[in-house]
Amino acid sequence: MVKYVPNYELDRIFQALADETRRSMVERLVRGPASVSDLARPLEMSLPAVMQHLQVLEACGLVRSGKSGRVRTCHIQPEGLRAAEEWIAGRRTSWERGLDRLGDYLADTPQAPDQAPENRSTS
């Protein structure tokens, strides 16, 4: 059947994006490079904490940084974002194809014998 190649990279990317602080750092870096202090300024936490978030972002390839003098400059690395986006888009299109097939099936069938489970409040 389907061979699951565990994608640790996706694990790390989604994990990195699962934190509001790190997402805000990505939002900042998407507008242009920034130093660690730049990234830390709007955040209400210690500099080491910011460094640790930065390390998470670097470990999954979302961000790169380099040091010049005493300043470390960080910039975004969009490939990781694209990988995550593509995984989601792939699932969504897969789901939409399923809807198409269901539509075809319903169009070709007098009645739908398929029964939805317990009632759920469609909000």
Partner DNA sequence: TCAATAGTCAAGCAGTTGCTTAACTATTTC
Partner DNA sequence: GAAATAGTTAAGCAACTGCTTGACTATTGA
Q: Which residues bind a copy of itself (CB under 8 A)?
A: 1-2, 4, 6-8, 10-12, 14-15, 17-20, 23-24, 26-27, 30-33, 42, 58-59, 64-68, 71-73, 76, 78, 81-82, 84-85, 87-89, 91-92, 94-95, 98, 115-120, 122
Helix (H, G, I), strand (E, B) or coil at 49: helix
User: What is the footprint of DNA within residues 8-67 (CB under 7 A)?
Assistant: 15, 18-19, 21, 35-37, 40, 44-49, 51-53, 56, 67
Amino acid at 39: L
Contact 55/20 with Cβ under 8 angstroms? no
How long, in residues, is the chain? 123
